[in-house]
Amino acid sequence: MEVTENCSVKVAVHIRPLIADERTQGCKECVTVTKGKPQVQIGTHSFTFDHVYGHAASPSSSMFEECVGPLVDGLFQGYNATVLAYGQTGSGKTYTMGTAIKDGSETGLIPQVMNALFKKIETLKHQTEFQLHVSFIEILKEEVRDLLDSEPVSKPVTPNGNAAKVTVPGRPPIQIRESSNGVITVAGSTEVAVSTLQEMATCLEQGSINRATGSTNMNNQSSRSHAIFTITLEQMHKIQSVSAVNDTSDEDMGEEYLCAKLHLVDLAGSERAKRTGSDGLRLKEGIHINRGLLALGNVISALGDEKKRKEGVHVPYRDSKLTRLLQDSLGGNSKTVMIACVSPADINAEESLNTLKYANRARNIQNKPVVNRDLVSNEMQKMRQQLQYLQAELCARGGPTSDIQTLKERITWLEATNEDLRRELHEYRSLRAVAECCETGAQESRSCFVKIDGNKRAIQSMDLPDYQMDEVLSDDNPGEIDEVAKELEHALRRNNMDRELNELNKRLEQKESEMKLVGGTDTEALKQHFQKKITELEEEKRTVQVIRPSVSVVLYAFCSNA
């Protein structure tokens, strides 16, 4: 599985404008942005993030393209992703995410995600088969609820005006499960198969209507739950090998199955009972919301603090349903973008500072996103990579290998020619030795033969230092000179053969070391070695060709004299 290079959690800050209520209260702006830089100041504090939007920073409209678009592209490559909106109540999380979609509004991130997703599917549908599912859940008072449950449910309106969904009796509660390979799944929630943008938008709208909201002093439509809208993209596409020769795809290499999830999370905002004016049910909700956010803060703290991370400190994912569900998104198999929403009003300065501190820490979280293939596709991918590697290796070796082959053939031919010439030369030399000995034997035989053992004579020296031999002759019969010459010739031939045998042995050893060289991978060294060898052989051949005429002349002279 491929692991991406830079996988820290990206953090963007979204600063909303002062809202009517804040203006009425005469609030002043307390958040400033460094021009041209993703830097935010509040009081004496200054923070740098990956992106800053709204207020005097980049326009909010760039947020999708810069922060979320790449995650949508990543989905098609098989990477899980999470977009997480965080901040105090009324800071603009729902507005930013677009979870409260109405009348097809496209200002929020989720509607833009849906548009981008279907646009991309449209361009790829001819080569890839897609399947899309959505689920929409909320965590309300530490309970996971299904916002896409199609069962008819009554929506009781509480005395506080809270429209919350109730769990249908008999239906098993939704559970968070961790599979053997550490993947977090939600069991029992509705997974709606969608094939059009409209169907997906309907799911978002339906779920948003079902989500628990209520009015507080700080937000007249405050989300009372953490909501997670999940898009699951499954794709099956044909893999074709690419020809190394002309870069065209040719061979069908099977299918690849990828499955990736995009979690779009709109958290409930942190709140202070004193400021929200909550009591009763709303107060209880607020306590639960804060508890979940506190657990989230602790997870971010454990993962984002380098010292704690190095110490291998325990990450308290299990302290709340929210952190359990976001386990993969924070420190796990996901590309994650956190959007810290802040109000610029001085009345919210303390909460905004807390949000920025948390967001700043979240930037240190390292995730480990991987391409989510099924086992067979994974195995296929490994084999494809191996094949590509071998093809590249073959291409890279193509030039030198053919060179070496040509060189080897040339060497074999040169060796054979050389061998013939050598043999010819030896024959000439032997004949010349015989001729010389015959002449010397007839005229000054004593200088050539030395008495060794009474009646035996041995050749002590000849004009050919290469050939040492002991040959026996009878001294009593000088008329046997022809016989002696024949024996001498025979002896010389035998000696030649010994010498050639030695030569062959030497050559065999040389071949063995050449074989070792061929077995190695240093083709350049091999090429140099063979070229040197060719030069040597050609030199030897030249020498032999130079000697041959002079030997012929001697032999011819001898034959003529005889």
Ligand X SMILES: Nc1ncnc2c1ncn2[C@@H]1O[C@H](COP(=O)(O)OP(=O)(O)OP(=O)(O)O)[C@@H](O)[C@H]1O
Where on the chain is the footprint of ligand X (CB under 6 A)? 16-17, 19, 54, 60, 87, 89-95, 219, 221-223, 268-269, 341
Instruction: Report which DSSP code applies to 79.
Output: -
Whether the CB-CB separation of 41 and 48 falls below 8 Å is answered with: no
Contact 11, 328 (CB under 8 A): no
Residue 43 annotated as part of some ligand binding site:
no
Amino acid identity, residue 83? Answer: V
Residue 239 token pair? 């893999």
> Is 329 a known ligand-binding residue?
no
If we measure between CA atoms, which residue out of 46, 112, 118 comes closest to residue 83?
112
Taking the complex as a whole, the smallest distance from the CB of residue 320 to ligand X amounts, in Å, to 17
Please say which residue, 95 or 530, places its beta carbon nearer to ligand X.
95
Question: Minimum distance from CB of 234 to ligand X (Å)?
Answer: 31
By C-beta, is 29 or 199 nearer to ligand X? 29
Considering the complex, state which of residue 282 and residue 373 has its C-beta at the smaller distance from ligand X: 282
Annotated binding residue 99: no
What crossing angle do the helices spanning 523-561 and 375-448 adopt, rounded to 10°? 20
Q: Which two tokens stand for residue 424?
A: 């010819």
Q: How far is CA 228 from the centre of its chain?
A: 31
- Residue 16 to residue 35: CA distance in whole angstroms: 17
Q: Is 382 annotated as a binding residue?
A: no
Q: Is 254 annotated as a binding residue?
A: no
The answer to whether 323 is annotated as binding is no
Token pair listed for 401: 């290998």
Closest approach, Cβ 43 to ligand X, in A, equals: 22
What φ, ψ does residue 180 adopt, rounded to 5°? -60, -30
Nearer to ligand X, 38 or 92 (CB): 92
Of the pair 13, 434, the CB lying nearest ligand X is at 13
Nearer of residues 113 and 371 to ligand X, judged by Cβ: 113
Nearest-approach distance from CB 281 to ligand X, in angstroms? 15
Q: How far is the CB of 214 from ligand X (least distance, A)?
A: 9
Q: How far is the CB of 374 from ligand X (least distance, A)?
A: 37
The response to whether 112 counts as a known ligand-binding position is no
| Minimum gap (Å) between residue 110 Cβ and ligand X | 13
91 in a known ligand binding site: yes
Which residue of the chain is nearest ligand X when measured via CB? 269
Toward ligand X, which CB reaches closer, 63 or 473?
Answer: 63
Shortest distance in whole angstroms from residue 313 CB to ligand X:
29
Phi-psi region of 421 (alpha: psi -120 to 50; beta: other; left: phi over 0): alpha
Contact in structure between 436 and 464 (CB atoms under 8 Å): no
DSSP β-bridge partners for residue 8:
366
Cβ closer to ligand X: 13 or 330? Answer: 13
Q: The tokens 């943008």 sit on which residue?
A: 197
Compute, in degrees rounded to 10, the torsion defined by CA atoms 201, 204, 207, 208: -110
Q: Which long-range contacts (CB under 8 A, 24 or more apart) does 117-123 make?
A: 117/72, 117/75, 117/200, 117/231, 117/233, 118/196, 118/197, 118/200, 120/72, 120/73, 120/76
List residues forming the annotated binding site for ATP: 87-94
Binding residues: 87-94
